[in-house]
């Protein structure tokens, strides 16, 4: 993901988040100084290995912890796999922070960092991370820094592409669509040829997937001016995306299933769904979830809105945040930096977890060019490497993402099940997003 492309929204947010940082009391230092490292040094001096507890859900994280522990006897990482954030993981983390028994490190999606910030759930790690930040692409550091204070260590990003069944498209003589118009035409052709098959599915409970489409189209759901947030979930690019998918839904050209459900994955296995436009980390998810279809898949660039143009959306990317109350922030940052920048460690995460690096030298990892049998030995990460260079620069997340996600799932789910429209559902999401920010005592306007 290009430095200039991602740096702009992150830097804009940083300037406006100073007041929020002060209100949330993140870090133990004063308003203009980083947290002091004394607490960690004192605890480490007590003798014996330091234990850093870490919560997450990414495939391969358990093996990474084992590899670290085998070679770092003085700092031992205790990894616990929890439910993904939006499925209950974030609630568990925030509950643990309030109870005073949170882990030191936690996998927190980039879309949710600001939400954790306003809850006072993050430690200021600026003093510990500054010497290793040169190992990352600058935009990645910017994305975890607010008001000049860093609260997490970058890990991965989520440039999007199109996963598709080669055999199904070939059987029906359907070319891989390069534009969204071609995608709609392919959806109609496939469903006409086989009424039980769909080119793809629409997931009413997947705000993040939908945000990736909006991101590509040029949407800017959240922005800041001074100390005020601006919410624009019904901006023109987002409504363009909503109306596009509404057309496919109205014509019954897409399957409708909850994301991540057993029924959804069964449809992929049975050939009822022939493609998925999703993030790079779906590479490993599909391999693990539908192994019977191995060798039948391939990856192509995300369809574009205009012929001859290449703009990509992004879904996900989960930094490792240091949660409030961590007794060993220095050691936590040391491990998190190793995880994200050690060539062997991250190459394993690419192979075992489908994670895409944010490290400065990530494109040189062996896995970037490695063939993957599930995709007919295609080196799929090369596709995502090119996609990462074209991610749209305008999108940013706000400070109440979990509440917005709940509003999306409710409003869009009801619209799809009861014959409403996605555009009207998004108006409801917009209203609830504004209200959720105002309820936090923050200034907010509507775009």
Domains of the chain: 3-157+317-364 (3.40.190.10), 160-314+394-446 (3.40.190.10)
CB 157 within 8 A of CB 318: no
Please, which pLDDT band fits residue 87 given cuts at 50, 70 and 90?
confident
Ramachandran angles phi, psi of 32, nearest 5°? -115, 15
Asked which of 21-25, 163-167, 172-176, 281-285 is least confident by mean pLDDT, the reply is 21-25
pLDDT of residue 46: 54
What span, in angstroms and rounded, lies between the C-alpha atoms of 43 and 430?
A: 46
Specify the DSSP element, H or E, that contains 214.
Answer: helix 207-217
pLDDT in tens, 404-428: 999 999 999 999 999 999 999 999 9
Residues 319, 105: Cα–Cα separation, whole Å? 10
Has residue 15 got a pLDDT over 80? Answer: no
Dihedral angle at the C-alpha atoms of 388, 129, 51, 104, nearest 10 degrees?
A: -70
DSSP state, residue 349: H
User: 15-19, 94-98, 226-230, 305-309: which has the minimum mean pLDDT?
Assistant: 15-19
Helix (H, G, I), strand (E, B) or coil at 347: helix
> What are 54's strand-pairing partners?
79, 105
Give the pLDDT band (50/70/90) at residue 71. Answer: very high
- For residue 42, pLDDT beyond 70: no
228 - beta bridge partners? Answer: 225, 443
Q: According to the model, what pLDDT value does residue 48 have?
A: 80
CA distance 13 to 321: 18
Check pLDDT > 50 for residue 43.
no
Percent of the chain with pLDDT over 70: 89
Residue 47 has a pLDDT of: 67
What is the C-alpha to C-alpha distance for residues 274 and 215, in angstroms, rounded to an integer?
Answer: 23
Which structure tokens are listed for 193? Answer: 């040829």
pLDDT digits (tens, 9 = 90+) for 88-140: 999 999 999 999 999 999 999 999 999 999 999 999 999 999 999 999 998 89
Above 60 in pLDDT, residue 262? Answer: yes
Greater confidence (151 vs 24) lies with 151
Please give the average per-residue pLDDT across 177-194, as a whole number. Answer: 98
């Amino acid at each position: 993901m290009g430095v200039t492309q991602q740096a702009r929204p992150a830097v804009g947010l940083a300037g406006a988040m100073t007041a929020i940082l002060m209100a949330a009391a993140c870090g133990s230092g004063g308003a203009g100084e980083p947290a002091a490292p004394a607490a960690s040094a004192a605890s480490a001096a007590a003798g014996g290995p330091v234990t850093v507890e870490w919560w997450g859900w990414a495939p391969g994280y358990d093996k990474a912890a084992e590899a670290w522990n085998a070679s770092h006897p003085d700092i031992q990482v205790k990894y616990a796999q929890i439910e993904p954030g939006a499925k209950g993981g974030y609630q568990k983390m925030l509950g643990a922070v309030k109870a005073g028994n949170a882990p030191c490190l936690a996998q927190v999606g980039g879309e949710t960092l600001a939400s954790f910030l306003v809850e006072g759930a993050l430690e200021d790690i600026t003093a510990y991370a500054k010497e290793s930040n040169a190992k990352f692409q600058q935009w990645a550091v910017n994305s975890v820094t607010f008001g000049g204070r860093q609260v997490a260590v970058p890990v991965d990003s989520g440039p999007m592409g199109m996963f598709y069944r080669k055999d199904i498209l070939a059987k029906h003589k359907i070319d891989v669509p390069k534009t969204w118009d071609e995608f709609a035409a392919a959806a109609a052709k496939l469903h006409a040829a086989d009424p039980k098959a769909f080119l793809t599915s629409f997931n009413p409970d997947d705000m993040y997937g939908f945000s990736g489409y909006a991101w590509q189209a040029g949407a800017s759901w959240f922005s800041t001016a001074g100390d005020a947030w601006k919410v624009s979930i019904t901006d023109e690019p987002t409504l363009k995306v909503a109306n596009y998918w509404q057309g496919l839904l109205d014509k019954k050209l897409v399957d409708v299933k909850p994301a991540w459900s057993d029924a959804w994955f069964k449809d992929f296995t049975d050939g009822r769904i022939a493609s998925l436009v999703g993030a790079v980390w779906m590479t490993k998810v599909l391999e693990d979830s539908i192994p019977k279809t191995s060798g039948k898949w391939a990856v192509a660039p995300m369809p574009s809105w205009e012929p001859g143009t290449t703009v990509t959306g992004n879904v996900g990317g989960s930094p490792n945040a240091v949660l409030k109350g961590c007794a060993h922030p220095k050691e936590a940052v040391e491990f998190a930096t190793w995880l994200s920048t050690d060539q062997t460690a991250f190459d394993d995460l690419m192979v075992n977890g489908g994670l895409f690096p944010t490290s400065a030298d990530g494109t040189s990892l062996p896995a970037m060019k490695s063939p993957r049998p599930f995709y007919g030995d295609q080196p799929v990460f090369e596709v995502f490497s090119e996609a990462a260079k074209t991610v749209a620069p305008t999108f940013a997340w706000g400070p109440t993402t979990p509440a917005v996600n709940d509003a999306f799932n409710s409003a869009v789910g009801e619209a799809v099940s009861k014959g409403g429209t996605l555009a009207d559902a998004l108006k409801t999401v917009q209203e609830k997003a504004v209200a959720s920010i105002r309820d936090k005592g923050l200034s907010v306007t509507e775009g």
